[in-house]
Amino acid sequence: MSENSILQSGPVQAQLLSRIKAAFPDASIELINESSQHSVPAGSESHFKALVVTPRFEGLSRIERQRLVLAAVGDLLPAGGGGRAAIHAFTMRCLTVAESEQLGGGKVVSPPCASSGQADEQLENARKKTVT
């Protein structure tokens, strides 16, 4: 993973990356705009996933790490899961350097978005597997 990797960069993504970099200047950051995989207009910046690798996460739980990242970008996300905000969905993975090396760089897997139909498709596939 490069030090700061950006794919499909736009103004919202640039702002998101800038905030994460400001909060974690020593971090290696991968930030990907996944909006094109969802039911949103072309060129949207609403769905992101991030991999943040920094020694600052040493000794912190997964929740503590995510809280630190959310503190940096929180006002770009909808409060309490509702309302309007620049970003609809934000998936993150927060690793120490040692964890990243152990995992071969890590990978962020985004959950399915209900608006894209992926969630319905996965639920239907799960139902088919349980009905024999």
Q: Which pLDDT belongs to residue 39? A: 65
Contact 118, 112 (CB under 8 A): yes
Can you give the CATH number for the domain in which 9 is found?
A: 3.30.300.90
With 0.75 as the threshold, say if the pTM is over it.
no
Q: What is the pLDDT of residues 68-92, one digit of tens each?
A: 999 998 888 776 555 566 777 888 9
The pLDDT, as a whole number, for residue 1 is 43
State how far the Cα of 51 lies from the Cα of 84, in Å rounded to an integer: 24
Domain extent at residue 116: 4-130
